[in-house]
Amino acid sequence: MLLVLSDEHKEHLGFLPEVESVVVGEFGRIAVEFLRRGTNPKIYEGAARKLNVDAETVQHGVEGLMYLLTESSKLMISEVDFQDSVLVLGFEEELNQLLLELYLEHRKEVRSILTELTPSLPHYHNLEWRLDVQVASRSLRQQVKPTVSMKLHLENRGVKSAKVLQTDPATLMHLIQELEKALAELKTTHCRRILRNIK
């Protein structure tokens, strides 16, 4: 699968061959940093002064790289497809190689950043448990009632929450059985066929 670059995008990236490869490397570093933490316009101005160009040109260059990185990471295109995709920009081989390295080095991280944007439910983080025996209460003395108290830690978009729940021994066994069935389902031929064929 090839990346389709718009004319506007090509034009923005067109600034890159005009500067030294060290500068392109620096732009790449800034692009990744901005993807991690958001943009900072002051950086554009500083770089523009040093290079003696418009701040806008620098901004377009860096944003062009950010877009190139996010699109190719999103589609998870192969090394060869990436090289073929940037070929249309008509850059020197060295610059193409630099872009490829930038892509391959940061693909995993960019994908994990993009994953944060996807809609998600709270997900499992940890489970703490404790075994209790209730021996008395206001309404009934001399009891022997085993309970399993559990603290379920969930996480949603970096926000952690915890729920305190409890259950009785028989239900605990039932819960384990059900969840083991869920795990076993993944190993059935039906699931394996789907996992194998959707790539």
Contact positions toward another protein, by CB under 8 A? 73-76, 111, 114-115, 117-124, 126-129, 131, 133-134, 137-143, 145-150, 152, 154, 163-169, 171-176, 178-180, 182-183, 185-186, 191, 194-195, 198-199
Which residue, 18 or 185, has its beta carbon nearer to another protein?
A: 185
Q: Which two tokens stand for residue 141?
A: 């003395």
Smallest distance, another protein to C-beta of residue 70, A? 8
C-alpha 152: how far from its chain's center? 24
Which residue, 19 or 172, has its beta carbon nearer to another protein?
A: 172
Smallest distance, another protein to C-beta of residue 61, A? 23
Secondary structure element (H or E) that encloses residue 24, with its range: helix 21-37
Which residue, 49 or 191, has its beta carbon nearer to another protein?
A: 191
Smallest distance, another protein to C-beta of residue 160, A? 12
Which residue, 140 or 159, has its beta carbon nearer to another protein?
A: 140
Which residue, 105 or 128, has its beta carbon nearer to another protein?
A: 128
Cβ contact 125:153 at 8 Å: yes
According to DSSP, the residues that pair with 145 across neighbouring strands are: 134
CB atoms under 10 Å from CB of 123, counted, come to 9
In whole angstroms, what is the distance from residue 140 CA to residue 121 CA?
A: 41
Q: Which two tokens stand for residue 24?
A: 């392109």
Smallest distance, another protein to C-beta of residue 58, A? 26
**Maximum pairwise Cα distance, the chain:** 85
